[in-house]
């Protein structure tokens, strides 16, 4: 029993033991306190040195210790009359029946295409992106330059920066939010799981928190994912199917997003539409996608992994060309009903929808490679591998009947045509393998 256990529960009735053993323990106890105090000061000093060291000694963005911070809130300087003028100009509606849209993740693959399409038809568009380095930021900067030439200004900031979000809504009365910002990728979740929670869950909540408080509340369309169908074996995947068997953390965060959307719709009257994208591809795409790095590695003469399921099962994807996805996104915005809340209080039932946006024609990954071989005029070095347990599923196949009925959604680009457009862009942007695609 320790000396702490000897202290009685009733104060004032304890008499000190006068034995030499107790005196020895008290001397030892005093010595321990002195040592503890000394090392506490040393530890405190080290903490102060760490937090107040000069920026020049901070770890670089490529070091492992900065891996989380580089995907966390990182808002550059914003504000001021010139900045506000650019925000207003970009978000200004220039068509008779146009809408004003805040597009998060605007420098991303889908975000760039959606922003450009909205601007072309005269809508007001303001982008928001944190330009993180999950993949080569120079590609995002090139997309940014592309959008700036069309008149779209991208604010550099993080969706978790509530002060920035509130400021944007103070300057512009957005009618709609197209929320595309997210940590993408199935496999990377095994390396950096917290980045998915930060972006896909906390980030969504931050956006919804601001939207529910402004008056009038905007209608919100946001990117869910076909990944929510997880381990389902019934095909094609329908919006009515179960989505409680995620195969990856990425899928789990998107499923959580759908539940969060339901909550904010129910409590605050926010109009919310979730779009489950099915394997989007095309020009200005993401370098972490198979069709993209297959193209890079085929041109470089490197082996490419072709996964197969158990018992030599075929791995297939419902590849959807980005222009078809954009049509679905714009249709979702155009059919979104107004939110019913005001100042964070619900005044009536609000619209809540979820749609599949796919191509309805799953293609084996091996066929994808064959098409790329013909387009690149280079034979691929195929390396057949078992499908790893890292979150990938064997197949995806969208039932799009609901989107057809409610949005007038109708994909028109087959994989051969879409890949031809992608390869043309790739060779124009990177060259025939000379310029590295990270």
Largest CA distance in the chain: 94
Q: How many CB atoms lie within 10 A of CB 438?
A: 12
Q: Are strands 341-342 and 345-346 parallel, antiparallel or unpaired?
A: antiparallel
Strands 316-317 and 272-277: unpaired
Look-up: residue for tokens 């809504």? Answer: 169
CA distance 93 to 100: 6
Length of the chain: 438
Rounded CA-CA distance 233/394 in Å is 9
Cα 345 to Cα 46: distance, rounded to the nearest angstrom: 48
Contact by Cβ (8 Å): 6, 21:
no
Q: How many CA atoms lie within 13 A of 254 on its CB side?
A: 31
Indicate if 250 belongs to the active site: yes
Query: What separation, in Å, do the N-terminal and C-terminal C-alpha atoms of the chain show?
Result: 62
- Name 104's bridge partners: 128, 179
In terms of phi and psi (left: phi > 0; alpha: psi -120 to 50; beta: otherwise), the region of 33 is: alpha
Marked catalytic residue, from 135, 196, 229, 250 = 250
Q: Do 325 and 284 meet the contact criterion of CB atoms below 8 Å apart? A: no
CA distances 417 to 286, 322, 352, 395, 423, Å, are 18, 12, 34, 21, 10
Contacts of 209 (CB under 8 A, 6+ apart): 162
Residues tagged active-site: 250
């Amino acid at each position: 029993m320790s000396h702490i256990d000897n202290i009685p529960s009733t104060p004032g009735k304890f008499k000190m033991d006068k034995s030499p053993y107790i005196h020895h323990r008290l001397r030892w106890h005093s010595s321990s306190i002195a040592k503890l105090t000394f090392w506490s000061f040393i530890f405190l000093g080290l903490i102060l040195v760490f937090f107040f060291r000069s920026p020049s000694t901070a770890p670089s963005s490529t070091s492992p210790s900065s891996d989380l911070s580089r995907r966390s809130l990182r808002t550059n300087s914003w504000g001021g009359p010139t900045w506000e003028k650019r925000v207003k100009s970009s978000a200004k509606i220039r068509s008779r029946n146009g809408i004003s849209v805040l597009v998060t993740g605007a420098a991303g693959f889908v975000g760039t295409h959606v922003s450009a399409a909205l601007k072309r038809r005269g809508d007001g568009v303001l982008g928001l992106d944190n330009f993180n380095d999950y993949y080569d930021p120079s590609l995002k900067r090139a997309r940014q330059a592309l959008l700036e030439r069309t008149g779209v200004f991208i604010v550099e900031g993080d969706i978790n920066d509530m002060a920035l979000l509130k400021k944007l809504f103070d300057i512009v009365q957005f009618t709609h939010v197209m929320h595309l910002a997210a940590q993408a990728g199935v496999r990377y979740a095994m390396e950096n799981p917290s980045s998915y929670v930060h972006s896909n869950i906390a980030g969504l909540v931050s956006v919804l928190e601001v939207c529910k408080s402004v008056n009038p509340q905007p209608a919100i369309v946001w990117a869910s994912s076909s990944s929510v169908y997880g381990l389902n074996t019934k095909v094609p995947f329908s919006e009515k199917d179960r989505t409680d068997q995620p195969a990856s953390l990425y899928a789990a965060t998107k499923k959580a997003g759908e539940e969060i959307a339901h909550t904010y719709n129910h409590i605050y009257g926010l109009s919310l539409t979730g779009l489950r994208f099915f394997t989007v591809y095309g020009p200005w795409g993401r370098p972490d996608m198979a069709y993209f790095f297959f193209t890079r590695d085929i041109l470089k003469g490197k082996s490419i992994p072709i996964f197969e399921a158990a018992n030599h099962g075929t791995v297939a994807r419902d590849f959807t060309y980005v222009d078809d996805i954009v049509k679905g996104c714009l249709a979702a915005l155009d059919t979104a009903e107004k939110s019913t809340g005001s100042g964070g209080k619900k005044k009536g039932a609000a619209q809540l929808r979820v749609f599949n946006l796919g191509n309805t024609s799953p293609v084996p990954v091996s066929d994808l490679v064959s098409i790329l071989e013909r387009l690149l005029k280079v034979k691929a070095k195929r390396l057949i591998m078992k499908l790893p347990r890292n979150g990938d599923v064997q197949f995806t196949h969208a039932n799009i009947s609901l989107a057809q009925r409610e949005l007038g959604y109708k994909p028109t680009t087959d994989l051969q045509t879409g890949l031809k457009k992608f390869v043309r862009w790739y060779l124009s942007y990177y060259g025939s393998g000379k310029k590295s695609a990270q």
